[in-house]
Structure 1
Amino acid sequence: MTVLVAATLTVAPSAAAEPEGLAVDFGATTGAFRGGATGTLYGFGDEGAPTQALINGAHITNSSQKPPFGTQHPSGDILKIEDGFFAKHGEELAIYIQDHYPDWPYHRGVRVGDVRTYDQTTGEYVEEPNGVWDYLEVVELMVEVVATQSDHPEEYLFIPFNEPDGIWYQNWPTMRDTFLTDWKAVHDKIQEVYARHGLAPARIGGPGDARWQPERSRDFLTFAKQHDVLPDVFIWHELGINNLSTYRTHFADYRALEQEVGVSPIHVNITEYGMLRDMGVPGQLIQWFSMFEDTKVDSQTAYWNYAGNFSDNSARPNGANGGWWMFKWYGDLAGSQTVKVTPPELNAVDSLQGIGAIDAANRRATVLYGGTDSDVQLDLRGLSHAVFGNTVDVEVREVTVTGAEGLAGTPRVVHAVDGARVTEGKLNLTVPTYDRYAAYQVVVTPAQDRAITADPVWSTSVEAEDTALTAARTYFQDPQAGGGWKFLASGSHDVGSFNQPTSKADWTVTVPRTGTYRFQVIGATPGSAGRHALFVDGAHRTTIQYTADLALNATSRWQYRGSTEVSVQLTAGTHVLSVRASQNGSQVLPNSDITLDKFVLTDITDGEPTTYPASTLRFYGGAGLSWDSGTRGFGGIAGSGQRADAYLTAMETGYYDVAVEYQTTGASDLRLSLGGRALPAVQVPNGGHRRTTVRAHLTEGINELELRSNRGVRVKSVTVTRAPAGDAAASTFEAEDLPLGGDAAVVSVDAASGSNASGGKYVGWVGMGSDNHIAIPRGDGFDAPGDYDLVVHYANAETAGRHDYNPQVVDRQAVVTEGAQATPVGSAFFRYTYSWTSFWQRTVPITLTTSTGDLRIGNPSAWAPDIDKVTIAPLVVGTPTTVRVG
C-alpha cells in the first residue's frame, strides 16, 4: 500500500471512542538514550537462567543480586552470573550485601550487634563478641571475595542497606545517628578493601529506602557530605500503583534537595519498581519506562516471585513473553537521542505514555507507547527533511499480554505505510488499539528499497470471555485491586470456574484456507499440569496439554498465566473451536479447572515465515543502515569489528530455514553465528543481490543470530521459516528406554495427575555423583564430531529455605560428558517448572569430539533435573544454499 498525505494518515478505521493524542517532536531532543529502565532485582538465577539469548536480547544494563555465597536465595550468586551479565550490554552489577543473611527481613528485622567473631580468611565464625560490629565483618568478607575473585570488580555497585527505613533503622528519630554512623563505617570498610588490592575506589549506592523519604534523605546527604562518604548512586524504591503519578515529583524533590545541601548531582537508581500487576505487561511497563528514561535514571523491576526470569518478564527457560519484547524494544533504542513526548496527561496512573527517540546516524525514528484502550493519534513532528526526505515508510508493531509463562512470538507488523508524504516535518498517524495492556512500536525511516507491508501471515485472536461459554464464569481482573498485588488478564477479564463436565468455551472463527493452524491458549494452570479437550465442529480433535504455572498463594493461583500450543488441520471456511473440560461429557479431564484468558489462531501451513528487516536489527562497531540508491534501508556490515544482531523466535524447537537477503559490490563473504556458535561461512564470487539459506536447529523461544562480513555486505533482511522436513535429522529418545547408571531410576506418573510426561514415565535420581546418569549410545545422526543441540525435557520443582512471599527456587544443573571423559561437552542450569510432574524443555549446546563415546547426562556434585525425554540434533543440516535474487 502506498499512501501520500499532506498532514493526516489513518491506517485503519478508528474505534467509536475518540482517539487519544500522543505528540512526539523529533526535533526536540532531550538527551542521549539512557536505557537503564530494564534493570532487574534478582532477575538472574544461575548461569544460563535466563539464557544468554534472553539476557542479550533484553539489553539488560543493570541488576541487583545477592553477594557471593549469600544465603537469602538459593540462586543468583553474583559471581556465578557475572559472565553472562557482562557478555554484551551489562554495565553495572549491584550487590545487596545484606543478602548474606538467610531470613527476611534480614536478621529478623533487628539490627545485628556484636555477638560473633569472624575469621576473615575462611568466613567461619564463633558465637562470641570481639569488639567489632558483626555486619561490618560480613561486609569485609563479601567485598574481599568480589575484589579477589571477580573478573569485573570495578563494574560493581555495593549496596550495604536494603530498605533501612523498614529494616534495622525504622524509627528515624531514635535510629538516625546509628544509621549514619553505620553508613560511614561500611562505606569506609568497602573502600579499605578495594584500596588494599590496588583497585580503583569502589562504587557504593544508598541509602536504599523503601520509598522516597525526604527527611531521611536530607539528613543522609548532609551527613555524607560532611564526612566525605557520599554515595556514587542515590537509591530508593518506587513501589505501588500511585507511584506512576508521584515519581517525577519525588525525583524533582531529590534534585532540589541536592542543591539545598550543596551536593553535585548524583546518579539515581530506583532499585525496585512496579507491582505484580505490571510485570510481563507491555502496556504497564512502558508507563514506568517513560518516567525513568525521561529522568535519565537506572531502575530495576521488583522481585515478587522468584529469581531467574527478569521478574516475570521472560517465559519458560528460553522464551519471550509480552514483557520481554517491551524490554527488547526499549533496548533497541541504544545509540539514539530521546525526544520530547507529550501524552494526554503526564503524571497519571494507568494512562497513555510513550518514549520517542531518533537515531540520526541510521535515519531511524521510533515511538514506543501503550497504556490506553482508545485508538491513538500520533502527532509526529520534527521529521527533518535532511534526515528523512519528503516521504517516509512507517511500520507499527504490536505486542500483547501473554502471561508470565506464555510464549509471545515476534511482534507482528499490524499497520504499514509505504511512502507517506511528510509536510513541514509533520505526519499524523492514527493507530487502532487492541487492549490497554498492549504496547506498540512505531518505526519511521526514509523510503526504503523494500516493500513495506503488514505481516502476511494470517493470525487472529479472541478473548476467552468473548466466546460462547457453558458452565463457566467471566471474572473481572481489576488492575487496581489489592494495591496491585495481582496479575492482569488480557482485556481485563478471564474465564474461570471451568470445572464441570459440561464446561466449554466455543469460538466461531473463519479461516482463509485449508491448512495447518497453531491454536494457542493463554491461561493459568495452578500448580500442576492439566488437560482440556479440543473439539472442532462438534468432533473431538486433540488433547490440549498444559504445563504447571505458579500457585504460591491465592493471588497467583488462578492468575499467573502461561500458554500452550497445539496444531490443528482446518479447511477453509467457518469452524467452531471448542475448548472443553471433558472429552466424554461426563468426566472432567485431570486438573481441568484452568483459567482461560485468550485464544490465538495462526496459519502455519507455510512454516510461518517471519521477516526481520535491517531496520529492526542492532548494529555494532560502525555497522549501520545504508541509504544509497538500491540499498536504501539495508544494513551495511564490513570488517571483523562490525556486526548486526537479530533475535529470532521459534514457537517450537526444530529446524528452520534461516534466509539472509543481501547485496555485495564484489566478491565477499557472509558469516553467521547462532547462539555464539559459528555456522558455515559463505563466500560469494562477485557482486550482486543474493539470498543465502541455512537450515539450522532453533530452540523454543529466542535465538540470537549475529551477522558479520569481513569484506562487506549490505543486508536487506533475515527471514525464518519452519522446515519440519529437517526434523528427520534429529534423534529422540525416551529417558526410560535408555541405559541408566547408578541410582538413576524410572518413575511412573499417576494417570490422573495430568502430567505431560511422555509415555507416562520419566527418569529421576540423576546426579549427586557421576555414576548416577543417563547414557545415550551413539547412533546415526550424531555419530560424528561437531556442534549439536541436546534438547532435554525436564522437571525441576526443588526449593530450599523459606521466604515470607517468594518460592525459594533452585536451578538444577545437568552436565553432559562424552564417554568416560571427565571434561563436559556441555552443561546448563534448568529453571523451576513448578511441579515434579510438569515438564518443560531446555536446550544444551554440546560440541562432540569423538564418533563413538556415549553421551552421559548427570551431575557429579548435585542433583540434575528429572528427565522425560531427550533429542539430539545437529546444529546445521545440509549445506547452505545461495541464489541470486532479481
Structure 2
Amino acid sequence: MTALVATTLTVAQPAAAEPESLTVDFGATTGDFRGGATGTLYGFGDEGAPTQALINGAHITNSSQKPPFGTQHPSGDILKVEDGFFAKHGEELAIYIQDHYPDWPYHRGVRVGDVRTYDQATGEYVEEPNGVWDYLEVVELMVEVVATQSDHPEEYLFIPFNEPDGIWYQNWPNLRDTFLSDWKAVHDKIQEVYARHGLAPARIGGPGDARWQPERSRDFLTFAKQNDVLPDVFIWHELGIENLATFRSHFADYRALERELGVAPIHVNITEYGMLRDMGVPGQLIQWFSMFEDAKVDSQTAYWNYAGNFSDNSARPNGANGGWWMFKWYGDLAGSQTVRVTPPELDVADTLQGIGAIDAANRRATVLYGGTDSDVRLDLRGLSPAVFGQTVDVEVREVTLTGAEGLAGTPRVVHAVDGARVAKNGTLDLTVPTYDRYAAYQVVVTPAQDRTVAVDPVWTTSIEAEDTSITAARTYAQDPQGNGGWKFLASGGEDVGSFNQPTSAADWTVTVPRTGTYRLQVIGATPGKPGRHALFVDGAHRDDIQYTADLALTDTARWQYRGSTEVAVELSKGTHVLSVRASRDGSQVLPNSDITLDKFVLTDVTDGEPTTYPASTLRYYGGAGLSWQSGTRGFGAVTGKGQRADAYVTAMETGYYDVAVEYHTAGASDLRLELGDRVLADVRVPNGGHRRTTVRAHLNEGINELELRSARGARVKSVTVTRAAEGDVAASTFEAEDLTLRGDAAVVSLDPSSGTNASGSKYVGWVGQGNGNHIAVPRGAGFDTPGDYDVVVHYANAETSGQHDYNPQVVDRQVVVTEGDDAAPVGSAYFRYTYSWHSFWQRTIPVTLTTGTGELRLGNPTAWAPDIDRVSVAPLVVGTPTTTRVR
C-alpha cells in the first residue's frame, strides 16, 4: 500500500522541466540594428487608423499599402496614410500596384490584356484596345499620382507584381518570357514617369513571389542584370509554419545566387510573413523578428484580416495588445548594435529564440526572447567592465498574450536584480520563470543606477480559464500548429467554450492583499455580437460583465478572435471566490453569453495603479541619452533644442491621470512635457536640484505618446502615471440622444436582448453624408473657454464594402468636428470597425477651440459618420502643474 501511494504521488506531481538556456554574448557584435521586422502589409487603414501614438510607439519603418484610389480594399490608400507613416520612424512606403484591381486574385487571376484605353489625365477608360498593354497604363496612372501628389515620392517603393508565381504568371516554362518582358516594361515606365517630373530614380521591388522560388529567381536576376532592370529591393514571402525553420536557408541561397551571377547584394524585404497564429502573439513574433534581424532584412506581417491594426498587432482604436508591445520593444533597440545569440535550437519552428543588442553610448544592454514553456536561463557574456563596471542592475519585463483586441497594459517588471555582481570574465547568469510559450520578455541591463530596481509593486494575479472550476462548459485545446497555422492562439494553449447554459460558470479562489478596488480583466472571444456575463463574488451577484463584439466574419475568426473587457470590483482583504456565469439567476442565459473564455486577470487599482517608466526604458533623440554622472546615474539627459525623450504610457481607461516627471537640474532650467503635439506643462525652475513636476492630464484608453524636452537641460529619472478618477468630473458627458440632432440624424432604440453596450440601449444614427446631418453639443461649464480639449466619441461602425476570399473588407468612417457656424474643422478622426452595429468602442478626437460659446458639431460632409452613443468633452489639462523638490 505504501509503495502504491508513493508511485501515485510521483505520477501526479511530475518534476518541473529543466530551464532552457539562451546565451547572449554582448562582446560579439553582429552589426547595426536594422529594425525592419515590424513592417506591415496594410497595417494602415486611413489617417489616424491606427492612431499616431500607436504608429510611433511601434516604430514602423516600412509598410506596403494599396495605390492611390485602388479598389482591392476599401481602406489603406497610400496617400491617406503617408503623413502618419513618415511622421517619426517611417523610412520606406511600398505600393502594391496591382491592388488597383477590385478582385482577388487580380483580374480573375488571368493576366490582363489590351482591351481598354485609359485617359491618363483623369484615370477614366473606355472598353477599347489602343495597342498599349492595359496594366502598363494602370502603372503609369498610379505612378503619376504619387509623383505629383505625394509629399514623399522619393521614399516610396513600387511593387509592380504581387505573388506572380500564383497570379498571372503561374506556368513558368510557358510564361517566363512574358513575365520578364512585362517586368522590363513596368520598370521602364515607372522610371520614365519619375524622370518626367525631375525626381530621382524611383525605387522598385520584385519579383514578389509567394515563396522562395530558386529557379524563377535565377531567371529573373539573370534577365534583370542583362537588361539593366534589377530591382532596388528583392522580394518574396515567407508565410507558413515551416518558414520559421527554412528562412535562413532561403536567404543564404539567395545571397549565393547573387554571388554566382555577379549581382551586387540587393536589399531584401520579405513583404509578407507569418500566419494568423503568429499575429498579436509576443512569443511567436520574437521568433520571426530574430531571424529577420539576424539577416538584416526588412519584413512585413501578412495581411490576413483588415487594414489599420498592424495585422492584428494593436487593440481597439488606440490600444496595445501583446503583439504591439513586442513591436515597441523591438523598436526600442534603434541605435544599438546586435550581438550573437545562441538558442537551444536554431531553425526549428516554435522554439526559444531571442535578440540581443548593446547600446554602448547609453551603456544599456537588452535581450528580447520568448517561445518556450520552460523557465529560461540567461547566460549573459561580454559585459565589459569599461561599459558596465562590476555591478549592474537587471530588470525583466513580461508581456503575455491578450488576444487581438485585448488590452495589454504596460509590461511589468517580474524579475529584478539590484546591484548584481558581474564576474571578472564579464558573465552573469540569470534564470527567469516563464508564463507560457506565447509570452515574451525584455531584459534590460545597465550599470548600477541611482534608483532602486525592484519587481513592480502593483499587485496582480491571473488564471487561465481552463484552470478554473468549470460547470456546464468545456475546455478546448488550441493546437498552435492546427489548421496549418490558419487560426488564432489561446493563452496557455487552451480556452473554455460551449459557455451557453444557464448553469455555465467558471469559478476560482483568490486571496487579495487589502480591501480596495480591483480591476477584473476577462480575455475571451465574443463572436460578432456584444454579450454579457454575470460576476458573482462569494456566491452573490455583484455586477454584469459587458463585452463588446469581436471579429466573426470568417470561420477562422469566430470563437478565436479574442478581445478583453474590464470591470471594477470592490473586494475586502482576504480570500474570495470569483465566478463568471452565463446567467444571473441560473435559469435564463444573458444576451449572447456564449463567449469563449481564455484568461482572467485581477489587478489592484485602489491607488490608481501607479506605473513608472524609468529613464532606462525611454527613447532618446537629437543627442539626448542616458547620463552616468554621480547622483544621476541612469537618468536621461535631455539638453538643448532638438533633444527629446519619448515615453509610451498606457491608460487602461480614458480619463484623468497624474503624470509626474522626476528630474534633476544643475541650475535654473526648464521642462516641457507634450502629449503628441500639445503642451501639457512648460515649467521653469529657479535653481538646481531634484524635482517632481506633476500635471493632471486627460489620457486616452490605450497608448499615449509623451515627449519630454528641456532647452536648458534636465536629467530625467522617470515618468510615473497614476489614475486620478476624481478628476473625471472635469469632463462633460452627453448621451447622443439628448443632444440637438439636425437633418437626418435620428435616435435609434435597441432591444436589450441584443446584448448591446450602448448606454440606455439608444444611439444616434444617420449622421453625416452632408453638412446638415450632425449632432450639436452646446457649450457649457467645463468647456466654455478657448483651449485644448479631447472629444471622446463612443461609436459603432460595422460597414464593409466588397468581397474578398479572407480579408474582411471593413470601412473606416470619419467624424469631423466644427465649432459654431465655422465650417472649418477643429478636429477629425477616422473610426475603426467595431464588428457590430450594436457594439460601441471609443475614439478620441483632439480639438483646439477658439471660442467659448460656439457649439460643437459632429458630422461628416462627404460620407457617413459612425453611429454615436455618447460624447464627452474634456479639457486636456485641469488645474495648474505643480513642481516640488524631492529628496
Q: TM-score, normalised by structure 1?
A: 0.98
Give distance in 2, aligned partners of 1:556 and 1:194: 42
How many Å apart are 1:486 and its aligned residue? 0.2
Name 2:170's counterpart in structure 1. Answer: 170
Q: Output one character per residue of 1:196-237: Cα deviation in whole Å (capped at 9) or x when no partner.
A: 100000000000000000000000000000000000000000
State how many pairs are aligned: 873
Which residue identity lines up with residue 576 of structure 1 in the other structure? V
Give distance in 1, aligned partners of 2:238 and 2:309: 21
Name 1:867's counterpart in structure 2. Answer: 868
Which residue identity lines up with residue 250 of structure 1 in the other structure? H
Give distance in 1, aligned partners of 2:417 and 2:15: 20
Q: Output one character per residue of 1:274-320: Cα deviation in whole Å (capped at 9) or x when no partner.
A: 00000000000000000000000000000000000000000000000
Give distance in 2, aligned partners of 1:645 and 1:39: 21
Q: Does 1:278 align with 2:267?
A: no
Which residue identity lines up with residue 29 of structure 1 in the other structure? T
Q: Does 1:730 align with 2:726?
A: no
Alignment of 1:213-362 (within 5 A): 213-362=213-362
Give distance in 1, aligned partners of 2:37 and 2:677: 27
Name 2:6's counterpart in structure 1. Answer: none
The answer as to whether partners of 1:489 and 1:597 remain within 8 angstroms in 2 is yes
What 5-or-longer segments of structure 2 have no aligned partner? Answer: 1-13
How many Å apart are 1:806 and its aligned residue? 1.1
Name 1:477's counterpart in structure 2. Answer: 478
Name 1:619's counterpart in structure 2. Answer: 620
Name 1:69's counterpart in structure 2. Answer: 69
Give distance in 1, aligned partners of 2:567 and 2:559: 22
The answer as to whether partners of 1:15 and 1:374 remain within 8 angstroms in 2 is no
Q: Does 1:637 align with 2:646?
A: no
Give distance in 2, aligned partners of 1:45 and 1:122: 25
The answer as to whether partners of 1:812 and 1:863 remain within 8 angstroms in 2 is yes
The answer as to whether partners of 1:194 and 1:201 remain within 8 angstroms in 2 is yes
Give distance in 2, aligned partners of 1:501 and 1:797: 30
Name 2:882's counterpart in structure 1. Answer: 881
Where in structure 1 do 4 or more consecutive aligned residues deviate above 2 Å? none
For 1:728, what is the secondary structure of its paired residue? helix
Alignment of 1:503-652 (within 5 A): 503-652=504-653
The answer as to whether partners of 1:280 and 1:321 remain within 8 angstroms in 2 is yes
For 2:245, what is the secondary structure of its paired residue? helix
How many Å apart are 1:725 and its aligned residue? 1.0
Give distance in 1, aligned partners of 2:183 and 2:467: 56
Q: Output one character per residue of 1:295-351: Cα deviation in whole Å (capped at 9) or x when no partner.
A: 000000000000000000000000000000000000000000000000000100100
For 2:206, what is the secondary structure of its paired residue? strand
Name 1:135's counterpart in structure 2. Answer: 135
Which residue identity lines up with residue 419 of structure 2 in the other structure? G
Name 1:149's counterpart in structure 2. Answer: 149
Which residue identity lines up with residue 740 of structure 2 in the other structure? P
For 1:628, what is the secondary structure of its paired residue? coil
Give distance in 2, aligned partners of 1:820 and 1:640: 40
The answer as to whether partners of 1:15 and 1:432 remain within 8 angstroms in 2 is no
The answer as to whether partners of 1:615 and 1:635 remain within 8 angstroms in 2 is yes
Q: Output one character per residue of 1:469-504: Cα deviation in whole Å (capped at 9) or x when no partner.
A: 000100000000100000000000000000000000
Which residue identity lines up with residue 449 of structure 1 in the other structure? D
How many Å apart are 1:15 and its aligned residue? 7.9
Which residue identity lines up with residue 81 of structure 1 in the other structure? V
Give distance in 1, aligned partners of 2:662 and 2:30: 36
Which residue identity lines up with residue 716 of structure 1 in the other structure? K
How many Å apart are 1:676 and its aligned residue? 1.4
Give distance in 1, aligned partners of 2:817 and 2:64: 31
Give distance in 2, aligned partners of 1:355 and 1:749: 51
Give distance in 2, aligned partners of 1:319 and 1:760: 25
Name 2:11's counterpart in structure 1. Answer: none
Q: Does 1:392 align with 2:389?
A: no
The answer as to whether partners of 1:549 and 1:560 remain within 8 angstroms in 2 is yes
Give distance in 1, aligned partners of 2:368 and 2:686: 42
Q: Output one character per residue of 1:726-757: Cα deviation in whole Å (capped at 9) or x when no partner.
A: 10100000000001000000000111000000
The answer as to whether partners of 1:527 and 1:548 remain within 8 angstroms in 2 is yes
Which residue identity lines up with residue 637 of structure 1 in the other structure? V
Give distance in 2, aligned partners of 1:749 and 1:659: 43
Q: Output one character per residue of 1:175-210: Cα deviation in whole Å (capped at 9) or x when no partner.
A: 000000000000000000000100000000000000
Alignment of 1:745-824 (within 5 A): 745-824=746-825
Give distance in 1, aligned partners of 2:652 and 2:121: 50
For 2:244, what is the secondary structure of its paired residue? helix
For 1:769, what is the secondary structure of its paired residue? coil
Give distance in 2, aligned partners of 1:497 and 1:877: 47
Give distance in 2, aligned partners of 1:728 and 1:112: 61
Give distance in 2, aligned partners of 1:376 and 1:731: 50
Give distance in 2, aligned partners of 1:34 and 1:370: 20
The answer as to whether partners of 1:680 and 1:880 remain within 8 angstroms in 2 is yes
Give distance in 2, aligned partners of 1:276 and 1:653: 30
Q: What is the RMSD computed on CA atoms of the aligned residues?
A: 0.7
Q: Does 1:190 align with 2:190?
A: yes
Name 1:373's counterpart in structure 2. Answer: 373
For 1:557, what is the secondary structure of its paired residue? coil
Name 2:664's counterpart in structure 1. Answer: 663
The answer as to whether partners of 1:795 and 1:838 remain within 8 angstroms in 2 is yes
Which residue identity lines up with residue 302 of structure 2 in the other structure? A
Give distance in 1, aligned partners of 2:507 and 2:547: 19
Name 1:4's counterpart in structure 2. Answer: none
Give distance in 2, aligned partners of 1:728 and 1:581: 34
Give distance in 2, aligned partners of 1:20 and 1:644: 36
For 2:194, what is the secondary structure of its paired residue? helix
Give distance in 1, aligned partners of 2:221 and 2:112: 24
For 2:158, what is the secondary structure of its paired residue? strand
Give distance in 2, aligned partners of 1:104 and 1:48: 27
Which residue identity lines up with residue 691 of structure 1 in the other structure? R
Give distance in 1, aligned partners of 2:591 and 2:218: 59
Give distance in 2, aligned partners of 1:725 and 1:439: 35
Which residue identity lines up with residue 119 of structure 1 in the other structure? D
The answer as to whether partners of 1:284 and 1:370 remain within 8 angstroms in 2 is yes
Which residue identity lines up with residue 728 of structure 2 in the other structure? D
How many Å apart are 1:680 and its aligned residue? 2.8
How many Å apart are 1:26 and its aligned residue? 0.2
Name 2:43's counterpart in structure 1. Answer: 43
Q: Output one character per residue of 1:337-381: Cα deviation in whole Å (capped at 9) or x when no partner.
A: 000000000100100000000000000000000000000000000
Give distance in 2, aligned partners of 1:442 and 1:864: 44
Name 1:5's counterpart in structure 2. Answer: none
For 1:715, what is the secondary structure of its paired residue? strand
Give distance in 2, aligned partners of 1:302 and 1:409: 25
How many Å apart are 1:521 and its aligned residue? 0.1
Alignment of 1:54-93 (within 5 A): 54-93=54-93
How many Å apart are 1:579 and its aligned residue? 0.1
Name 1:838's counterpart in structure 2. Answer: 839
Q: Output one character per residue of 1:49-95: Cα deviation in whole Å (capped at 9) or x when no partner.
A: 00000000000000000000000010010000000000000000000
Q: TM-score, normalised by structure 2?
A: 0.98
Which residue identity lines up with residue 793 of structure 1 in the other structure? H
Identity of aligned residues (%): 87
Which residue identity lines up with residue 730 of structure 1 in the other structure? A
What 5-or-longer segments of structure 1 have no aligned partner? Answer: 1-13
Alignment of 1:442-457 (within 5 A): 442-457=443-458
How many Å apart are 1:16 and its aligned residue? 1.6
Name 1:677's counterpart in structure 2. Answer: 678
Which residue identity lines up with residue 204 of structure 1 in the other structure? I
